[in-house]
Amino acid sequence: MTREGVARTALTRATLFETLALWVELGWLRQLDRHFAIFLADRDPQADPLVWLAAALASHQLGRGHVCLSLSRVLATPRSALSLPPLEGGGEPAQAVVLPESLLDGITLAGWTAALTASFTVAMAREASGSATPLVLDGERLYLRRYWQAESAVAGHLRRRLGQPLAVADALAERLQALFAGNARQGDEPDWQRVACALALRQRLTIISGGPGTGKTTTVTRLLALLQQQSLTRDGEALRIRLAAPTGKAAARLSESIASAVGRLDVTEVVRDAIPQQAQTLHRLLGARPDTRHFRHHADAPLSLDLLVVDEASMVDLEMMAALLEAMPTDARLILLGDKDQLASVEAGSVLGDLCTGANVADGAGYSEPTRRYLQSMAGENLPVAAETNPLADHVAMLRKSFRFHEDSGIGALARAANGGDGRGFVQVLKEGFKDLATLDIDAAAFERAVVAGYRDLFEAVRAGDDSSSILALQSRFQVLCALRRGPWGVEGLNERIAQALWHQGWIARTEGWFAGRPVMVTHNDPQLGLYNGDLGLTLADEAGRLRVCFPHGDGVRQVLPSRLDAAVTAFAMTVHKSQGSEFEHVLFALPARSNPIVTRELIYTGITRARLRLTLALAQGGDERMLRDAVARQVVRDSAIAARLLKDSRALNRTDSSGSEV
């Protein structure tokens, strides 16, 4: 008998589910994942236990952001499939625990695949459309059916937006040059804003990625002006344009940015008036139906628009992207804005990162020859010739120059080191004495003093009874961010500690329940109230002392009774995930003392770049340079196949139509 045969014979239902139960107890696996495996075992009791193990691990990957389970990755690094805590000194847990490598000892990819295909609970991808199995095996990737369908739908919708370019009026070349004439150049570096705008003029799908302050909204506002001018001149009517973002806070910021950029445009009043300035959440745009995952707009009831701009696209998860693309009219343009290096969505998927990775745009030399000729004639940019082109890259533009973080910015230097995975450089930046950077011991009284000082302006305005609009504006002055949700350095511990510090100083009347000055964050969508996950508000008292929770809303303030907010948490401190789409003048960023799998390069980069003017890193006592270096070196890799699907299809498209027709 082969070694694989011995291992598979030893893995029984009893030993597997005993092991899964212990993994749940240790927090390595979710109870949901174990129950899913039991569910499949009850329906196909004759299946190989490897099927149930794969089912539990595939379910667990969704909670960690992965769309699927990569069997080859698990076989190569078995512990990567679980949420194992770091093992001190590389040792083993104290308990007698069966580790995943023991269960998979001797198992090959071919053997595991054979076990899965033998079960009627698993369908092969080529046959999955006509079945209803809970699991789908696509190559060496195992999916829960719902996510296989969502990924297939996203890839299909995006694929149909690739291909033949749209017509661009010759007169727009001159207008393009005029709108970007003020952009200062650095040597021979291309004007990537101009390149991005020129690309988007002639296609139905454009991805514009760039870090904070690189001018994404400025670029897209100029693009909207050019497209509206073309439409008004050619058709006598304006395009129907909508603006959207994943969260209410991100939508509010997009509205502010677009309104500011429109005010600076050198265009006619007719064109200026045709550019929308109010954004909304994706849930509101699509028409979320309460208590369901369905929307009012879908393939049979598409959105009424000609062009959609989605900001903070890195936060859009796979299922939301599938719903959005399904509701898009086939001839409408879609522009995705975001930062591919930020944290991906909380839910499963990393669509923006997948698209940018698949396009291979890191060096800016991934455009096809026809696209390069077009960019030279339209934007005046002579880009270098690439050794190998990829049609998907024709739809991606990377903005590289930051107008916010200059050479003397410590925040900018720290962000570049984190983004580049340079742990030693990251630590060195902290030691160089930049004026906009500071560190403090989170366990010392200095932490409480820093927090009270940071929130002082806000609470002075609350005490003075200023109008709610001006008070809400002060919320963007200071914010505490943290990496973890639980523990003394997580959201729960820090919120309690901050409330105690503010109470001792007399700024708040109590530390629990509802009180004037309590900042809250909505944690679930509530279409009836017009509030969505991530919306940030502040509890204020009216002249009669009655409490209302105030949220920014368009040009005004939306007031909600505290009793109506069933899903809201205190937000003196918030996780970096929840802060996406927001910016604050001063950020106090709390990091744990020990290395933690959650603390990654993307999380640190995202937390750092929430700060516009000042950043304070609060390090737990015992937190050392090694922890920081390890965190910066630890990169998130989410398993999905969108990039692979599009690259494969794009190459096929390129072989079919190699002429690369130009406008």
Domains annotated for the chain, with CATH where assigned, are: 13-155 (1.10.10.1020), 170-403 (3.40.50.300), 410-633 (3.40.50.300)
Mean pLDDT of the region 322-344: 91
d(Cα 331, Cα 350) in Å, to the nearest integer? 25
The pairing of strands 584-591 and 611-619 is parallel
Model pLDDT, residue 327: 95
Is 213 within any annotated ligand binding site?
yes
Residue 215, marked binder = yes
360 against 152, higher pLDDT: 152
Query: Is the C-alpha dihedral spanning 142, 147, 152, 158 positive or negative?
Result: negative
Q: Write out the two tokens for 276.
A: 């929308």
Residue 359 has pLDDT above 70, yes or no: no
Minimum mean pLDDT range among 41-45, 147-151, 400-404, 563-567? 400-404
What is the mean predicted confidence (pLDDT) over 379-402?
76
Q: Higher model confidence: residue 169 or residue 387?
A: 169
Q: CB-based contacts of 195: which residues, under 8 Å, 6+ apart?
A: 375, 379, 381, 383, 397
CA distance 72 to 54: 12
Closest CA to 339 of 213, 215, 210, 216: 210
Question: Where do the DSSP E strands lie in 188-275?
Answer: 205-210, 241-245
Residue 108 annotated as lining a ligand binding site: no
Show the tokens assigned to 23. 């993994």
478-482 vs 584-591, strand pairing mode:
parallel
Identity of the residue numbered 570: T
Q: Could you tell me if 592 and 620 are in contact, meaning their C-beta atoms sit under 8 angstroms apart?
A: yes
The residue with greater pLDDT, 388 or 115, is 115
Q: Is 210 annotated as a binding residue?
A: yes
- Highest mean pLDDT: which range of 4-8, 54-58, 97-101: 54-58
Please report which confidence band the pLDDT of residue 42 belongs to, taking 50, 70 and 90 as the band edges: very high
Residue 290 vs residue 86, higher pLDDT: 290
pLDDT the model gives residue 445: 85
Dihedral sign from CA coordinates of 284, 286, 287, 290:
negative
Average pLDDT of span 66-73: 92
Give me the mean pLDDT over the 290-317 stretch. Answer: 90
Residue 499, phi then psi, degrees to nearest 5: -60, -40
pLDDT of 195 higher than 60: yes
Answer yes or no: is 431 a known binding residue.
no
The pLDDT value recorded for residue 649 is 56
What's the pLDDT score for residue 186? 67
Residues 6 or more apart in contact with residue 625 via CB below 8 angstroms: 427
User: Is 212 marked within a binding site?
Assistant: yes
Instruction: Give the torsion sign (CA, 377, 378, 380, 384).
Output: negative
Instruction: Provide the residue type at 50 as one letter.
Output: L
What is the pTM assigned to this prediction?
A: 0.84
Cβ proximity of 349 and 318 under 8 Å:
yes
Supply 482's token pair. 């943290």
- Per-residue pLDDT, averaged over 314-330, amounts to 93
**pLDDT tens track for 627-645:** 888 888 887 777 777 877 7
What per-residue confidence (pLDDT) applies to 554? Answer: 64
Cα distance from N-terminal residue to C-terminal residue, the chain: 65
Q: What percent of the chain has pLDDT over 70?
A: 90
Please state, for a pLDDT cut of 90, what percent of the chain lies above it.
36
Answer yes or no: is pLDDT of 117 > 90.
Answer: yes
Residue 403 · residue 551 · CB < 8 Å? no
- Is the pLDDT confidence value at 354 over 50? yes
- Among 149-158, 196-205, 300-309, 653-662, the minimum mean pLDDT is found in 653-662
Supply the pLDDT for residue 631.
85
CA dihedral 280, 285, 291, 293 (to 10 degrees): -120
In this prediction, residues 440-460 reach a mean pLDDT of: 88
